Structure 1
Amino acid sequence: MGVSNQFDELLERLLVEHEERVEEYENKDMMDLLLEAFRDEHAEYKISRKQIKSLFVEIFLGGTDTSAQTVQWIMAELINKPSIIEKIREEIDSVVGKTRLIKETDLPKLAYLQVVVKEGLRMHPPSPLVVRTFQESCEVKGFYMPEKTMLVINVYALMRDPESWDDPNEFKPERFLPSSKSKQDEEKEQGLKYLSFGAGRRGCPGSNLAYLFVGLPVGVMVQCFDWKIKEDKVNMEETTAGMNLAMAHPFKCTPVVRIDPLTFNLKSPSP
Structure 2
Amino acid sequence: MKLVNNTICKMIMGRSCSEENGEAERVISLVAKSDALAKKFFLAAILRKPLPKFGISLFKKELLDVLSKFDEVLEKILVENKEKLDQEHQQDTVMMDKLLEAYGDENADCKISRDHIKSLFVDLFVAGTDTSTHTIQWIMAEIIHNSYILEILREEIDSVVGKTRLIQETDLPNLPYLQAIVKEGLRLHPPVPLVVRTLQERCMIGGFYVLEKTTLLVNGYAMMRDPEYWEYPLEFKPERFLTSSMKKDEIRDEVLKYIPFGSGRRGCAGANLAYVSVGTAIGVMCQCFDWKTKEDKVNMDEAAGKITLTMAHPPKCTLVPRTLIPLTLCMQIPIS
TM-score bracket, shorter-length normalisation: 0.7 to 0.9
User: For the structure 1 residues 261 and 244, does the alpha-carbon distance in structure 2 shift closer, same or farther, using more than 3 Å as the test?
Assistant: farther
Question: Which ranges in structure 1 are unaligned for 5 or more consecutive residues?
Answer: 21-34, 40-46, 266-271
The answer to whether 1:72 aligns with 2:137 is: yes
Question: Which ranges in structure 2 are unaligned for 5 or more consecutive residues?
Answer: 1-22, 24-71, 82-94, 331-336
Correspondent of 2:296 among 232, 254, 257: 232
**Cα distance, 1:183 vs structure 2:** 6.2
RMSD: 2.9
The answer to whether 1:131 aligns with 2:201 is: no
User: For the structure 1 residues 182 and 215, does the alpha-carbon distance in structure 2 shift closer, same or farther, using more than 3 Å as the test?
Assistant: closer
**Cα distance, 1:140 vs structure 2:** 3.0
Runs of 4+ in 1 over 4 A off after TM superposition: 6-12, 16-20, 47-53, 180-187, 259-262
TM-score by length of 1: 0.79
One-letter amino acid matched to 1:247: M
Alignment of 1:1-271 (within 5 A): 3-6=73-76, 12-17=96-101, 38=110, 50-51=115-116, 54-179=119-244, 184-185=249-250, 187-190=252-255, 192-259=256-323, 260=325, 262-264=327-329
**8 Å contact 2:193–2:221 — kept in the other structure?**
yes
Q: Distance in 1 between matches of 2:248 and 2:126?
A: 33
Q: Distance in 1 between matches of 2:193 and 2:317?
A: 26
Q: What are the superposed Cα offsets for residues 2-46 of structure 1, whole Å, 9 maximum, x if unpaired?
A: 5322555665522245799xxxxxxxxxxxxxx98x48xxxxxxx
User: For the structure 1 residues 211 and 224, does the alpha-carbon distance in structure 2 shift closer, same or farther, using more than 3 Å as the test?
Assistant: same
The count of aligned residue pairs is: 243
SS state at 1:131 partner: strand
User: For the structure 1 residues 185 and 210, does the alpha-carbon distance in structure 2 shift closer, same or farther, using more than 3 Å as the test?
Assistant: closer
SS state at 1:234 partner: coil
**Cα distance, 1:181 vs structure 2:** 7.8
TM-score by length of 2: 0.64
Q: Percent identity?
A: 60
Pick the structure with more strand per residue: 1
**8 Å contact 1:131–1:153 — kept in the other structure?**
yes
One-letter amino acid matched to 1:147: E
User: For the structure 1 residues 247 and 180, does the alpha-carbon distance in structure 2 shift closer, same or farther, using more than 3 Å as the test?
Assistant: closer
**8 Å contact 2:75–2:118 — kept in the other structure?**
no
**8 Å contact 1:134–1:149 — kept in the other structure?**
yes
SS state at 1:152 partner: strand
